[in-house]
Structure 1
Amino acid sequence: MKIGVTSQNFKTITGHAGKTRRFLVFSQDGEGNAIEIDRLDLPKALSMHEFRGDVHPIDDFEVLITGGCGDGFRQRMAGRGIRVVTTSETNPEQAVTAVFAGLPLPEAAPHVTGS
């Protein structure tokens, strides 16, 4: 399973998923530990806010963890077969570990449109 994490700074989980262009990509090692396997640094045209094509680099994700997103983003991701998890957790590895273990994450702050 591949889990993507929105991270504009490649250090912490960030919000505004529709405008995010940077993602950390995680999988599990043979012992079930979360390991970072890739980073995506996409051009603006490939932010989901701008993108209108068919195939996208995040299509390999089964889960996308973000600090926040709107309902439209959730719907677009569901249409691509990606489950979105929003959280106030800022540590990517901790969040991914929790998702792999089926544990809940702290709730994200409400998404504010236009900010």
Structure 2
Amino acid sequence: MRIAVTSQNFKTITGHAGKSRRFLIYELEPGREPVEIERLDLPKDRSLHDDHGPDHPLYQRQLTAILTGSAGEPFVQRMNREGIEVITTSETDIAAALRAIASDEALPPAAPHEH
């Protein structure tokens, strides 16, 4: 499972996935620690909110999911069309959230998304 985590500071899970430009890409397998395989630091015009092209860098990463603090419904629908699940949570600790996902444990729900 390959998961992109929205992380504007490259330390914690941050919100508003559509406007995020920084992503940590992890490989996740049950029973194993998550492995960071890549960091993306995109220019402002390449946020998913601004870039609606079919060649967005995230689409080239063969993602299973995006883990974020918040996302609007249009973003969720767009990712679903690309075969990418959107997982929202109020958890900010990346390792804890990824371990929960790998163990099929529930994450704390995200706060309502304000657009």
TM-score of the pair, normalised by structure 1: 0.92
Deviations 1:14-73 (A, max 9, x none): 001100000011113796211111110011121010112112221221111000010000
Rate the CA distance shift 1:99–1:47 in 2: closer, same or farther, 3 A. same
Any conservation in 2 of the 1:29–1:35 contact (CA below 8 Å)?
no
Q: Secondary structure at the match of 1:108?
A: coil
Which of 75, 78, 81 is equivalent to 1:79? 81
Uncovered stretches (5+) of structure 1, i.e. residues with no partner: none
Q: Secondary structure at the match of 1:24?
A: strand
Any conservation in 1 of the 2:31–2:102 contact (CA below 8 Å)?
no
Q: Does 1:3 align with 2:9?
A: no
Aligned Cα RMSD in Å?
A: 1.5
How many equivalent residue pairs?
A: 113
| Structure 1 moving runs of 4+ over 6 Å | none
Matches within 5 A, 1:84-103: 84-103=86-105
Any conservation in 2 of the 1:5–1:13 contact (CA below 8 Å)?
yes
Matches within 5 A, 1:1-115: 1-28=1-28, 32-59=32-59, 60-113=62-115
Uncovered stretches (5+) of structure 2, i.e. residues with no partner: none
